[in-house]
Amino acid sequence: MDGRNGSKPISRIRILSLGNPGVGKSCLIKRYCEKRFVNKYVPTVGIDYGSTAVEVDGRKVSVHFFDTSGSPLFEEVRSEFYRDMQGILLAYDVTDRSSFIALDAWLAELRHNLGPMDDWSAAVIVCGTRTDTGGTGGRQVSEADGKGWADKHKFSHVLTSAALGNGITQAFHTLFVQALQLKDGIRSPGGVVDPEVQQAIHRLIHLNDDFEKMGLTRRSISKEEVNKSYRRLAALVHPDKCKAAGAEEAFKALTQARNNLLKILTETTV
């Protein structure tokens, strides 16, 4: 699809999976893409590829997965893919402490291939897997430990179960949103932007409907509500106050949306 008829083009992002062998990287991807759980463990050899079409906050996205083997034997193969990725899925098994400890080594491999974190063009989410089998006796990594490691490096953290489907949608949606924000320049690598500001900029730039841009409904709309919404959003994205990437474009879109809605209201009251 192209933009000749007014529709926005389909965005494309590439996702790379990382983590020790057997932590369930392939299971997470299959559960998300195919809505099924594969119980039998089949080690990935080199890299497996797959793709799916999704919608992220009203935006059509083509997602391409590069599911890697966690074996040290394939480090050179993995190194060929790092710089073309917009998202990294970094997984550990909550029932295997060694896979959690290995996150430091995976981070070192990321830095070796991508350089300092401030230069990264890929978002990273950390996923704890197999939470369905991590009961009192089986669990070796607490949620606090997993989240603490992720927070330390400014990564998002989600606990998942491919068997039950828990946390799968949340994990991938979070990764896709952050990857698109980096791709669009709204989010800085390793940087923290107010989530409300991120959401406002993303909505104003990418949604087509002026009501949706401003967070308004068509029912009982008034000039007062339009101007109230404008003031609220302008306080978030005005380029004189907001230094987040995309703020200037978002503010222009906000102003245009307000003008369009006020014009509609004026015409309907004449």
Amino acid at 160: T
User: What's the one-letter identity of residue 208?
Assistant: N
Amino acid at 128: G
Query: How far apart, in Å, are the Cα atoms of 184 and each of 86, 122, 162, 179, 239?
Result: 11, 12, 30, 9, 17
Q: CA separation (Å) from 204 to 1, 12, 252?
A: 21, 20, 9
pLDDT of residue 8: 63
pLDDT in tens, the chain (270 residues): 344 444 567 889 999 999 999 999 999 999 999 888 877 666 666 678 889 999 987 789 999 999 988 888 888 888 888 888 999 999 999 999 999 999 999 999 999 999 988 888 899 999 999 998 754 458 899 999 999 999 999 899 999 999 999 999 999 999 998 898 888 766 666 555 667 787 888 889 888 889 999 988 887 688 899 999 999 999 888 888 776 767 888 999 999 999 999 988 887 764
- CATH topology (fold) of 11-184: Rossmann fold (3.40.50)
Contacts of 208 (CB under 8 A, 6+ apart): 6, 7, 8
HSE-CB at 268 with a 13 A cutoff on CA atoms is 11
What's the pLDDT score for residue 191? 57
4-12 contacts at long range (C-beta below 8 A, 24 or more positions apart): 6/208, 7/208, 8/59, 8/60, 8/206, 8/208, 10/53, 10/60, 10/61, 10/62, 11/59, 11/60, 11/61, 11/62, 11/180, 11/183, 12/61, 12/62, 12/64
| Domain layout of the chain by residue ranges | 11-184, 195-269
Shortest CA distance to 248 belongs to which of 158, 163, 185?
Answer: 185
Burial of 41 (0-12, 13-18, 19+ CB in 10 A): exposed
What pLDDT sits at residue 2?
42
Could you tell me which of 170, 125, 175 has the C-alpha nearest to residue 31?
A: 170
Beta-carbon contacts of 228 under 8 Å, excluding residues fewer than 6 positions away, are: none
Q: What is the pLDDT of residue 243?
A: 67
* Res 168: pLDDT: 94
User: Cα-atom radius of gyration of the chain, to the nearest Å?
Assistant: 21
d(CA 119, CA 126): 19
CATH number of 195-269: 1.10.287.110
Q: What is the pLDDT of residue 226?
A: 92
